[in-house]
Amino acid sequence: MRSVFTLLMMYGLMTPIAHAQTQGTRPNIIVILADDLGYADVGFNRDSSFPADRGIIPTPNLDELAEAGIICTNAHVTHPFCGPSRTSIMTGVYPHRIGAQYNLPNNITTPLGIPVEETYWSRHVDETGYNSMAVGKWHLGFQEGKYQPMDRGFDEFFGFGGGGKNYFRSLYDGTWYKYSKNSPEYNNPALYNTPKDNPNTNEYLDPLQRNREYVDRKEFAEDDYLTDVLTDQAIDFIDRKADDDDPIMMYLAYNAPHTPLQAPANEIAQFKTDNPNFENLIRNSTYITQSRPVTKLPVDEQAAQIDVLVENRITYATMVSNMDTNIGRLVQKLKDENIFDNTLIIFFSDNGGYTYSKGAVNYPLNALKGSVDEGGHRVPFFVHWPDQISSPSTYDFQISSLDLYPTLVNLAGGTIPNTKTIDGVDFMDKMIAGEDARPGEALFVLRPQNGFHNAAIISYPYRISRKGGNGSWKLFDVNTNPEQQLSGSVDGTPVSEIISSLEDQGSTWVASFKDVGPGWFDHERGNGHPHRILWYGEDNAGNTAAAVFPGLDNTYNDASLAITGTVQPYIEQGTPPGPVVTPDGTDEVTEPDTPTEPEPPTNVVSGIERTEIDLSIYPNPVENRLILKFNRPVSKLEVEILSTTTGKLVESISLSNIQKTEVNTSNLESGVYLLRVQGDQVYSSQKIIKL
C-alpha cells in the first residue's frame, strides 16, 4: 500500500546511505552530457509503445552501454534549461540557492559566473590525484582565473565557454577573424589568427579554446564537424593518460543535439539511406501535421511549415546518430587501452528535448525543454561500470543530476567539507543493490516565468506540478502513466492529502532561500531582461512596477514564504578560485510560452537577438525575390545565404547606405537556407524556404 510521505522523512530521519562497497574504489570516471536530447531519442529509453511515425533514431553504441549497465528511467535535472541545470550538475546544489535561476549573459566579455565559493566536484576529485579534463560546452562563466574549467578543478580543457556553438567553423570564421581567405595575411602565421578590431562577442561566434587560449585557426578544417572534433580531443586525452598510474576523470559535454541544427550533408544523406522510411513516416504523421506549430498558421502556409519540421527532425536525428557513433569511438579507445572495465560511464542530458522546431521527441512525456512538466526535466540516464555492475538492470526510483557530486567524490576517495551544502545523495551502492537512494525525499523543479513560478515536486512514485499564477497542483504517478492526472483517491488516500504532503516538502525546501534573487539575467538589451522589473521593481531604464517575484508564498500556498522586505540579487563572496574550503558553507502539446535559454527569436542566429535596428524579412517562403527592410538606413550591410545542410555559402552581397533592398533568389534550388545579415549594430539570421 502506498502511503502519504511524512514530515519525518522530510527531515532526514532515514537510514544513512552506506558507501562500503564502492567508496574509494577510484575508477576512471567519464561523465557524458548530451544537450537538449529528447527522452525517446535513444533506443534504451524506447519500448514497443513508441509510435514509429515519430521517427526512430538508431543509437546502437549508447544502447549497448545502457543495456550492459543500469538504465535509470526516472532521472531528473534540477531545471528545464541549460545554465541553471549545469550549475547544479557541478555544484551539487539547486541553482536558486546561489542566484543562478537564469542563464549567464551570452557575451564572452561578461564578468559574471557561478560563485567561486561553490567548489565543484571536479575540484575534489582532482585533488585525489586524477588526471582530469573538461571537453565541450561549459556555460558556467568566461572570466579567466575565476570561472573557466581550469579554475574549477580540471587539469585541461578543450571546448567553448558559452552556451552553444555553430558546428562548422565556416559559419563563424569570417565573423571573428580579421583576415579572410582572400587576404594575403590569411597565409601569414603571424597574422591569420588576428581577431577583428571589434569582433562580435556573442558566445556562439568566438573560436574553440584549448586550456586558456584559442586554438590555432588552421588546426581544424572549416568543415570539420564539432562533435567529431570534441571526440577527437577526448580520445587524445585518453591516449596520453591511459598508461599513467593515476586514473582518468573526464567531463565530456557535447553540444549535440542543441541548435543550431547542423550536420554534415553526407551524413544526412547516409541517415536517409540507412533509415529509408524515416522521412515518409514523420511527414505523414499527425504528430507533425496536426501539431500546434502547423495548425496555428494559415492553411496556405502549413505545407511549408511541415517541410521545415520534417527537415529539422531529420537533421536532429543525424546529429544524435553522429553523437552515438562518436561515443562508440570513445568506448573503443577505452577497450584498446584495456581500461574499459574499470571505467565508470554516466550518460544523461542537461534537460528535456526541444520538440518540433528543434527536432526532438520526448514521448511519452508531456511538453519540452523549458517546462516543469516531465518533458522539461526528466532525461535519458544510464550508469555503466563493468567491474561493479555485473547484472544489467533498470532503476525506476528517482535520481537527480545533483547526485553526481557526492557520488563521484566518494568514489574518488575525496572529502566534501561538512560546511558545503549538498542537495544530492550518493546513489552508487543503493543503485547497484536496486534500492531507493532517497526514500521519501523529494526532488524539486522551479522556473520563474511571466510573473509567477512554475513548479514540480517529485517524490517516488508521485509527481505534482503547478503552472500559471492561478493554476492548481496536479498529481501524477510515474509508475502508471507519468502524464495522466490522478483524481479522487489512490489506494484509499485522498489525492488532496498526497498533494498537501508534497506541497509541504516544497515549502520547507524553498524557505532557506526564499528571498534570494538572481545574480544575473541572460540578456540585458533595451530596458533589460523582462523579468528584471518583476524581481527588483525597476528595469534598466528606470521604469518601476510592483515586484512580484519570487512569489513563492503563492506557489506553495504558504504565507510564511512571503517577502516582507526587498529581494536582493545573490552576490558571490569573492572567495579566490582554487582548492579553498569555504565557510558555512502523452505527447508534446505546445511550445513553451516564453523562450528558454536563449532559444532565439525569429531574426536571430544561435542565440543572438536583434538590436535596436529593426529588420523585416519577407516573403517567407520565397520564390524569386526576398525583401529586407530596416527601420532606418544602414551604412554597411553584408548579406549571406548558406545551405543549412552543408553550411556552404551560396550567395554573398555587400551594400552601403540602404534601408530596403531586394535579394534575387531565383537561382536557388528549392530547399531550406540560412539567411545571415550583418551591418552596423545588427547581426541577425533566420531560415528561409525557397519554393
Domain assignment present for 642: yes
pTM of the model: 0.84
**Are 460 and 425 within one domain?**
no
In a domain, 609, yes or no: no
The per-residue pLDDT for 677 is 81
How far, in Å, CA of 323 to CA of 456, rounded?
A: 31
* Same domain (yes/no): 430, 464: no
Please name the amino acid found at residue 653.
I
Q: Which residue has the higher pLDDT, 438 or 564?
A: 438
Note the pLDDT of residue 159: 98
Q: Kindly state the average pLDDT of the residues 337-342.
A: 98
Say which residue, 530 or 383, is predicted with more confidence.
383
Q: For 321-345, what is the mean pLDDT?
A: 98
- Predicted pLDDT at 654: 74
Is the pLDDT at 600 greater than 70? The verdict is no
Asked whether residue 590 is assigned to any structural domain, the reply reads no
pLDDT, average across residues 457-468: 95
User: Starting at the edge strand that comes first in sequence, how are the strands of the sheet with 213-214 ordered?
Assistant: 213-214, 209-210, 156-160, 131-137, 248-253, 28-34, 343-349, 381-384, 70-72, 393-395
Read off the pLDDT of residues 310-328 as tens digits, 9 standing for 90 and up. 999 999 999 999 999 999 9
Residue 597 domain-assigned?
Answer: no
CA angle (101, 527, 94) in 5-degree steps: 5
Query: Is the same domain home to 359 and 297?
Result: yes
Is residue 592 predicted with pLDDT exceeding 50?
no
Same domain, residue pair 410 and 457: no
Above 50 in pLDDT, residue 416?
Answer: yes
**The pLDDT of residue 635 is above 50:** yes
Please count the structural domains in the chain. Answer: 3
Per-residue pLDDT tens over the stretch 119-138: 999 999 999 999 999 999 99
CATH number of the domain that residue 138 is part of: 3.40.720.10
Pick from 623, 626, 624, 628: which is nearest to 661 by CA?
628
- Do 417 and 469 belong together in one domain? no
* Residue 415 within any structural domain of the chain: yes
Question: Does residue 558 sit in the same domain as residue 670?
Answer: no
DSSP 401-462: GGGHHHHHHHHHT----TTS-------HHHHHHT--SSTT--EEEEEEETTEEEEEEEETTE
Q: Tell me the CATH number at 625.
A: 2.60.40.3080
Q: What is the pLDDT of residue 633?
A: 78
Which pLDDT score, from 0 to 100, does residue 296 have?
A: 94
**Average pLDDT for residues 8-20, to the nearest whole number?**
36
Strand 378-379 to strand 75-76: parallel, antiparallel, or no bridges (unpaired)?
antiparallel
- In the numeric block, which cell numbers belong to residue 639? 548579406
Query: Pick the residue with more confidence: 601 or 185?
Result: 185
Is the pLDDT at 597 greater than 70? The verdict is: no
Q: Classify residue 174: in a domain, yes or no.
A: no
Residue 515 and residue 552: Cα distance in Å, rounded?
A: 9
* pLDDT value at residue 184: 94
CA distances from 492 to 26, 463, 482, 504 (A): 47, 18, 20, 20
Q: Are residues 428 and 467 in the same domain?
A: no
Same domain, 632 and 519: no
pLDDT attached to residue 662: 82
User: Which residue do the cell numbers 502539446 mark?
Assistant: 589
Q: Taking all residues of the chain, what is their mean pLDDT, rounded to a whole number?
A: 88
Of the candidate ranges 143-157, 254-268, 604-618, the one whose mean pLDDT is the lowest: 604-618
Give me the pLDDT at residue 689, please: 79
Highest mean pLDDT among 181-190, 334-343, 545-554, 644-653: 334-343
Question: Do 384 and 513 reside in the same domain of the chain?
Answer: no
- Same domain flag for 465 and 397: no
Q: For residue 257, give every residue at least 6 positions away whose Cβ sits within 8 Å of its Cβ, in sequence order, or none.
A: 34, 35, 36, 37, 41, 316, 319, 320, 323, 359, 360
> What pLDDT does 594 receive?
39
Which residue would you say has higher pLDDT here, 636 or 368? 368
Per-residue pLDDT at 525: 76
What range defines the domain where residue 51 resides?
Answer: 18-159+216-436
In a domain, 578, yes or no: no
Selection from 162, 166, 175 nearest residue 110 by Cα: 162
If pLDDT is split at 50, 70 and 90, which confidence band does 681 have?
Answer: low
Q: Do 369 and 235 belong together in one domain? A: yes
Among 436, 462, 489, residue at a domain's last position: 436
